[in-house]
Amino acid sequence: MNETDIERARKVQIHTILGIKQTARRVKVKCLFHADKNPSLVIYPDGGGYHCFSCGANGHNAIDFSMGLGLTFKEAVRQLIDF
């Protein structure tokens, strides 16, 4: 893993990982970080970040998102560069 791999992983869009087509400046879905009954996780495709208004989970890119789901930094980067 090198800086180029890390940069490629950072550019992967979270909504793409989730299989969601971007239709707006932000996408609202059920949060994957807690048991969510209503959509409270907002993904900001333009900036690459996300924020849950219920549990407070947040991050700046797909690496942060993957790590929030339990992957290590190296695992996240490896998985994302293959995406």
pLDDT score of 8 more than 90: yes
Global pTM exceeds 0.85: yes
Q: How many CB atoms are located within 10 Å of the residue 80 CB?
A: 22
Q: Which residue has the higher pLDDT, 38 or 47?
A: 38
Percent of the chain's residues with pLDDT above 70: 100
CA quadruple 55, 45, 49, 13: dihedral positive or negative? positive
Q: Which residues of 38-73 are buried (b: 16+ CB within 10 A; e: fewer)?
A: eebbbbbbeebbbbbebeebbbebbbbbbbbeebee
pLDDT of residue 32: 94
Question: What percent of the chain has a predicted confidence (pLDDT) above 90?
Answer: 77
Per-domain residue ranges of the chain: 3-81
The matching CATH number, chosen from 3.60.15.10, 3.90.580.10, 1.10.3210.10, 3.40.50.970, for 3-81 is 3.90.580.10
